[in-house]
Amino acid sequence: MAILKILTDKEPALRGISRSVDAITPRIITLLDDMKDTLHKANGVGLAAPQVGVLRRVVIIETEAGKLYEMINPVIIEKSEEIQHELEGCLSVPGRWGITERPKKVKVKAMDRNGNYYTLEGTDLLAIAICHELDHLDGILYTDKAIRMLTKEEIEELGE
Kindly report the CATH number assigned to the domain that includes residue 33. Answer: 3.90.45.10
Arithmetic mean of pLDDT, 85-107: 94
| pLDDT at residue 160, as a whole number | 55
- Residue 62 designated active-site: no
| pLDDT at residue 89, as a whole number | 95
Distance between CA atoms of residues 126 and 132, nearest Å = 10
Residue 1 lies in a domain: no
Question: For residue 46, what are the contacts with CB-CB under 8 A and spacing of at least 6?
Answer: 39, 59, 60, 61, 62, 63, 129, 130, 132, 133
Residue 6 lies in a domain: no
**What are the φ/ψ torsions at residue 66 (nearest 5 degrees)?**
85, 0
Arithmetic mean of pLDDT, 141-151: 95
Q: Encode 73-109 in three state secondary structure.
A: EEEEEEECCEEEEEEEEECCEEEEEEEEEEECEEEEE
Tally the domains of the chain. Answer: 1
Given 11, 133, 154, 156, the catalytic residue: 133
* Nearest partner of 123 among 105, 101, 98, judged by Cα: 105
- pLDDT-based confidence at residue 101 (cuts at 50, 70, 90): very high
| pLDDT at residue 85, as a whole number | 82
| pLDDT at residue 156, as a whole number | 84
Residue 5 lies in a domain: no
Q: In this predicted model, what pLDDT tens digit does every residue of 43-74 receive, in sequence order?
A: 999 999 999 999 999 999 999 999 999 999 99
Q: Is it the case that residue 37 has pLDDT exceeding 60?
A: yes
Which three-class secondary structure state does DSSP give residue 38? helix
Residue 89 lies in a domain: yes
Arithmetic mean of pLDDT, 12-28: 97
Distance between CA atoms of residues 129 and 143, nearest Å = 14
Arithmetic mean of pLDDT, 5-15: 95
Average confidence score pLDDT of the chain: 95
Tell me the residue range of the domain where 45 lies: 12-158
Arithmetic mean of pLDDT, 18-31: 98
Residue 3 lies in a domain: no
Residue 20 lies in a domain: yes
Residue 49 lies in a domain: yes
Residue 4 lies in a domain: no
Question: For residue 9, what are the contacts with CB-CB under 8 A and spacing of at least 6?
Answer: 90, 92, 93, 141, 143
